């Protein structure tokens, strides 16, 4: 495949955009190649600026559960644009999508629309602190909750692990109240709460972690978080920006049968347009301005175009639960095909899947936390990525991201992917 136009555009972008991209993973640095510049997409395929067509497993990092630009989803969008792209005033659409989300998600009474997943998690933590009157928060290594200062941390040393900034520009004092624990380790989190549970405002967690590759939470781990939050009066926040309306209609809360106090959403609730939301119990959300003293605002929050597509998407998922069974079957076929290739070639790698989310980890053994993920051979993943790209299969350009399946992916697409993966894996060994 030729990539002349994409390479030229990347050089042009580097002159005016930091790193040539508007989100770091798009630079393809961790896979050792220049990025693909998208020109168009439809269904399960994306076409780059050189005219190359790829079977797409990025799906814009999750929102496109129906695939690219399905006609039934876009119908009426032009008319919606003609009515106005933003008002700065409340709309009926905001009421409708709030009702849909609250009725869909277990334990949710009220929801506030925002513009991104980062804004949702940042706001949820502020509300939790305001509600409890406490400062300390707990997060887990390998879980990503956006780029707000208090959450850009890695773990230090010792049982009681205070956060260490992972980015210049984040003052140490900003993360001084962020405690970092080990994902899927219920004993570790019990030790931390035993030491300072009365000071902890909230626990924030991806119940299905999707930002260190796919690492689902263990049921006993998530139940422990619920028990500790109840015992110590802390707020349990589920970050469902990736898993919300994808792992199940009611997200991971439905999948595991465990309710959070606050949940954060993004991706699918805007069907590809910029969007986020956070919601929770009525007594907690009553703290949010203008009802309460915890301030949060946004000029474009509840944007009518995002609400239009979000409502259509959520109504489709609500009225057609068979979509989730279909996605489960597709995910299972892809997983089984990849695992057959691995067994046939006697390779030690591991495929992890949750519904329509999937990651091939280039490491041996179980993958339950960030320490496990760090064993992966990322250089080998880079070779694998480049090989699959040349075969016309577009994978996430990082070992630490998920593959996303959509309704548009056909059985033929999956069979093609499995066959081409076999070719590439044989070349790697």
Q: Are 377 and 30 in contact (CB under 8 A)?
A: no
Q: How far apart are CA 117 and CA 260, in angstroms?
A: 17
| CA distance to 11, 62, 301, 403, per residue, from 58 (Å) | 23, 7, 26, 6
Q: Are 275 and 113 in contact (CB under 8 A)?
A: yes
| CA distance to 233, 260, 338, 383, 397, per residue, from 424 (Å) | 52, 42, 12, 9, 16
Residues with Cβ within 8 Å of residue 265, at least 6 apart in sequence = 101, 117, 120, 240, 241, 244, 245, 251, 276, 277, 278, 279
Q: What are the DSSP calls for 322-381, one per residue?
A: HHHHHHHHHHHHHHHHHHHHHHHTT---EEEEETTEEEEESSSS---SHHHHTTS-HHHH
The tokens describing 12, both together, are: 């042009």
Pairing of strands 262-265, 276-280: antiparallel
| CA distance to 22, 92, 381, per residue, from 64 (Å) | 19, 24, 24
The one catalytic residue among 54, 105, 144, 278: 144
Identify the bridge partners of residue 46 per DSSP, sorted by sequence position. Answer: 41, 54
Q: How far apart are CA 302 and CA 286, in angstroms?
A: 19
The tokens describing 289, both together, are: 């301005």
Q: Are 239 and 250 in contact (CB under 8 A)?
A: no
User: What SS3 state is found at 49?
Assistant: coil
H or E element that contains 396: none
Is 144 known to be catalytic?
Answer: yes
CA proximity to 117, closest of 46, 210, 44, 201: 210
The one catalytic residue among 177, 239, 372, 413: 239
The one catalytic residue among 267, 324, 370, 400: 267
Residues with catalytic function: 144, 239, 267
């Amino acid at each position: 495949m030729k990539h002349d136009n994409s390479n030229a555009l990347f050089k042009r972008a580097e002159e005016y955009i930091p790193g040539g991209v508007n989100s770091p993973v798009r630079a393809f640095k961790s896979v050792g190649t220049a990025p693909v510049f998208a020109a168009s997409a439809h269904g399960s395929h994306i076409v780059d600026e050189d005219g190359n067509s790829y079977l797409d497993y990025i799906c814009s990092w999750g929102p496109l559960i129906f695939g690219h630009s399905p006609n039934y989803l876009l119908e009426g969008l032009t008319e919606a644009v003609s009515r106005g792209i933003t008002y700065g005033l409340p709309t009926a659409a905001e009421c409708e999508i709030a009702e849909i989300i609250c009725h869909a998600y277990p334990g949710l009474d009220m929801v506030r629309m925002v513009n991104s997943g980062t804004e949702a998690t940042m706001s949820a933590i502020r509300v939790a602190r305001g509600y409890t009157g406490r400062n300390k928060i707990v997060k887990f290594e390998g879980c990503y909750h956006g780029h707000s200062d208090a959450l850009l941390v890695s773990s230090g040393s010792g049982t009681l692990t205070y956060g260490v900034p992972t980015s210049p520009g984040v003052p140490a004092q900003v993360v001084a109240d962020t405690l970092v624990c080990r994902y899927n380790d219920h004993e570790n989190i019990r030790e931390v709460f035993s030491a300072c549970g009365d000071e902890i405002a909230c626990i924030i967690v991806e119940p299905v972690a999707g930002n260190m590759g796919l690492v689902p939470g263990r049921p006993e781990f998530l139940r422990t978080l619920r028990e500790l939050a109840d015992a110590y009066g802390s707020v349990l926040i589920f970050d469902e920006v990736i898993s919300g309306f994808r792992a199940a209609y009611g997200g991971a809360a439905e999948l595991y049968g465990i309710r959070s106090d606050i949940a954060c959403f993004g991706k699918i609730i805007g069907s590809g347009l910029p969007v986020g939301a956070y919601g929770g119990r009525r007594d907690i959300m009553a703290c949010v301005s203008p009802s309460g003293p915890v301030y949060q605002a946004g000029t474009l929050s509840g944007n009518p175009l995002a609400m239009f597509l979000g409502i259509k998407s959520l109504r489709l998922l609500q009225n057609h639960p068979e979509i989730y069974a279909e996605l489960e079957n597709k995910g299972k076929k892809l997983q089984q095909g990849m695992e057959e290739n691995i067994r046939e070639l006697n390779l030690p790698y591991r495929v992890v899947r949750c519904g329509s989310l999937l990651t091939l980890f280039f490491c041996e053994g179980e993958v339950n936390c960030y320490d496990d993920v760090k064993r992966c051979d990322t250089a080998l993943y880079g070779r694998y990525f480049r090989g699959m790209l040349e075969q016309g299969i577009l994978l996430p350009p990082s070992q630490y991201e998920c593959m996303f399946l959509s309704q548009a992916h056909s059985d033929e697409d999956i069979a093609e992917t499995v066959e081409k993966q076999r070719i590439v894996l044989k070349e790697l060994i």
